[in-house]
Amino acid sequence: MICPVLKLAQQLIQQPSVSPNDHGCQTILINRLKKIGFSIEVMPFDDTANLWAYHGEQGETLVFAGHTDVVPAGATQNWRYPPFTPTLNNGLLYGRGAADMKGSLAAMIVAAERFIIDFPNHAGRLAFLITSDEEAKATNGTVKVVDKLMMRNEQIDYCIVGEPTSQVKLGDIIKNGRRGSLTAKLTVQGIQGHIAYPHLANNAIHSSLPFLNELVNKKWDDGNAFFPPTSMQISNIHAGTGSNNIIPGELVIQFNFRFSTELTEQQIRQQVETILKKYQLNYKIEWSLSGHPFLTEKGKLINIVSQVIAQYCGYQPQLSTDGGTSDGRFIAKMGAQIVELGPINETIHKVDECVSVVDLQQLSLIYQQIMQKILLPA
C-alpha cells in the first residue's frame, strides 16, 4: 500500500504551480477536506487562489497555514529528474516544491484526515489557510485573507506554518518569529560636470562617502534573546555615465534592513535620515516595508510543539527567528501564537529539490499529535 502522505505530495508536485498560479492544487486539497466535513471558503484575489477551510464551530482555533505555489524550476536540463515529475530515489522524493512546501501540505491534510476520523467531535476549530502567492509578490495571498477574516472578527489562536524550518534532522529547528525587512532606495543629488573643472561641479560619489561609511559601520541594536542584531546590507549602488571625464551628478543606492523587535520601522527611518542630514546631502529616499518583525514568546504552542517533537524525534527543537520573511508576518496581526515547522530546507529553491519520505510521514504524525494536544480537552 502506498503511503497517503507520499501519494498526495506526488499529486501536488505534478502540478506546475509556479507562483502565483495554483494550477489546481487547491482543488485537490478542497476535495480531500470536503470528504471529512470541512466548511470550505475560496477567497480568490486577482491572480491568486486562496483557501480558508475549517472543521468545528466554536472555541479556540488551530490553523495550519501554507502555500501551493512554488518558485520556478530554472534550467530544467540541470535537474536529475524533470522538476514537475515527482520521482522517488533512495528514500527521497524529488520535484519542485517537494520541501517548500507541498510535502508539508500533504502531511497536514493526511494528519487532519486521521485526526477527524479518530475525533469527529473534537473541541475548538481546526482550520487551513492556504495561498498560491507566497513565493513571489505576496500581495493577494495570506495578507488579504487575514484582512477579510479580521473584518468579520474571526479569531486565530494557534497557527502552525509548514515552511521547511529543519536544518539537519527533522524538527531540529522551529521558528517562533521572523525578522522584519525594510528596503530604502536613496538618490543623492550632486552637480554633474567636467572632471577637469571640479570647482564647477559637486561629485555625488564623493559627497556620499562619509554617509555610506557611517551607514555601513553603524551598530543598530544588540538583538535580544530571540533575535540576532539588526543587519543592514547595501544591495545596489550606481553612479556615473561610464565616461572617464564626467563628474557624476547622481548616486543611487538600495539597501535593506533585516531588523529585530528591538527596533521599529519608524526608528530605522529616522536614524538613517538623521545621518543623511548630518552630512547635508541633497537626497530623496523611498522606503518599502515587506514585513514587521514578529515573535511568539514561550507559551502553550511552543511547549506543545516542542513536547511532540521530543516524543517523535527524541530531541528538543531549537527556537530560531532567522531566514527570510514568511506569511507568519500577516497572521501575527491576528494575535495568534505562531510556530513554523516543516521538513529539512537544504534543497529549497535549488535544482534537484527533494525531501525525505520518512520525514514527511513523521511530520504528518507530529502535526496530528499537535492537533490532538490542542483540540482535545484534557
Enumerate binding residues for Zn ion (CB under 5 A): 100-101, 163
φ, ψ at 18 (rounded to 5°):
-75, 130
| Residue 146 vs 247, nearer CB to Zn ion | 146
Min dist CB 2 to Zn ion, Å, is 25
Catalytic residue among 69, 133, 340, 353: 69
| Residue 132 vs 230, nearer CB to Zn ion | 132
Is-contact 49 22, C-beta < 8 A? Answer: yes
| Residue 26 vs 208, nearer CB to Zn ion | 26
Q: Residue 318, SS3? A: strand
Sign of CA dihedral 195, 197, 201, 206: positive
134 is catalytic: yes
Distance CA 361, CA 338 (A): 22
69 is catalytic: yes
Is residue 163 a known part of a binding site? yes
How many Cα atoms sit within 13 Å of 105 on the Cβ side? 32
Is residue 349 a known part of a binding site? yes
Q: Residue 11, SS3? A: helix
The residue of the chain with the least Cβ separation from Zn ion equals: 100
| Residue 113 vs 133, nearer CB to Zn ion | 133
Min dist CB 70 to Zn ion, Å, is 8
Catalytic residue among 133, 134, 327, 359: 134
Min dist CB 133 to Zn ion, Å, is 11
Is residue 100 a known part of a binding site? yes
Is residue 22 a known part of a binding site? no
Min dist CB 348 to Zn ion, Å, is 7
Is residue 135 a known part of a binding site? yes
Distance CA 116, CA 137 (A): 34
The string of DSSP letters for 179-218 reads -EEEEEEEEEE-B-EETT-GGG-B-HHHHHHHHHHHHHH-
Q: Which residue has the cell 509578490?
A: 137
Q: Which residues belong to the annotated binding site for Zn(2+)?
A: 67, 100, 135, 163, 349
Report the catalytic residues.
69, 134
